[in-house]
């Protein structure tokens, strides 16, 4: 069963981006955490909303079994992403490195949350391990 880890804008800059909120781990480190739990994992990151939406469309027919999504700032306003994710018939786990509810008010609302089976926020890199475990549990797989 293949997991797909999707990242939105600016997450390509992890490692050097605002370490107070995001730590110093890179995007590759975050994906490696998921792969350590579930080796059959694809990953994609997009700076553009449309590209991210198109990748979600592709996930409808490419054998993706579950999606882990950190949409970056798109989380807070992209109804296009919301609508694309809503089309998926596989489990969706939303993850954020930082605790979005304890930050600026515009980050408190997630348009991804209503279409996600699980939302994880504020656990840093550990959140990716939790997300992978949650995805496996939603697929009926045993804990790794
Ligand atoms: C983020 C939180 C978002 O508010 C922000 O725009 C990001 C990263 C996180 O992982 O904490 O790009 O999704």
Residue 105's CATH number: 3.40.50.9100
Domain assignment present for 75: yes
Domain-located, residue 144: no
- Ligand 1 neighbourhood includes 75 CB (under 6 angstroms): yes
Residue 63 included in any domain: yes
Which positions ≥6 away from 139 have C-beta within 8 Å? 1, 65, 66, 91
Query: At how many degrees (to 10) do helices 27-37 and 126-138 cross?
Result: 40
Q: What's the CA-to-centroid distance between 138 and ligand 1, angstroms?
A: 24
From the list 74, 70, 66, 132, the residue with the least C-alpha distance to 97 is 70
Residue 101 falls in the annotated catalytic set: no
The 10s digit of each residue's pLDDT in 36-46 is: 999 999 999 99
Query: Residue 75 C-alpha to ligand 1 middle, in angstroms?
Result: 8
- What's the structural domain count of the chain? 1
89 domain-assigned? yes
User: What confidence tier does 26 reach under pLDDT thresholds 50, 70, 90?
Assistant: very high
Q: Note whether residue 52 is domain-resident.
A: yes
Position 6 in a domain = yes
User: Is residue 87 situated within a structural domain?
Assistant: yes
Q: pLDDT exceeding 70 applies to what percent of the chain?
A: 100
Q: Give a yes or no: residue 102 inside a domain.
A: yes
- Whether the pTM exceeds 0.80: the reply is yes
Host domain of residue 39: 2-138
* 128 flagged as catalytic: no
Of these residues, 22, 38, 46, 128, which one is catalytic? 22
Q: Which of 38, 82, 96, 128 is catalytic?
A: 96
Residue 73 Cβ inside 6 Å of ligand 1? The answer reads: yes
Per-residue pLDDT tens digits for 50-62: 999 999 999 999 9
């Amino acid at each position: 069963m293949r997991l797909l880890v999707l990242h939105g804008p600016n997450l390509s800059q992890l490692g050097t981006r605002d370490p107070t909120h995001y730590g110093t781990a890179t995007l590759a480190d975050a994906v490696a955490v998921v792969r350590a739990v579930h080796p059959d994992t694809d990953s994609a990151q997009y700076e553009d909303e449309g590209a991210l939406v198109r990748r979600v469309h592709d996930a409808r027919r490419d054998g993706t079994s579950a999606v882990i999504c950190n949409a970056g700032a798109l989380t807070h306003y992209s109804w296009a992403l919301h609508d694309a994710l809503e089309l998926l018939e596989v489990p969706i786990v939303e993850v954020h490195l930082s605790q979005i509810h304890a930050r600026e008010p515009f980050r408190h609302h997630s348009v991804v949350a209503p279409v996600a089976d699980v939302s994880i926020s504020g656990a840093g890199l550990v959140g990716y391990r939790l997300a992978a475990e949650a995805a496996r549990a939603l697929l009926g797989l045993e804990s790794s």
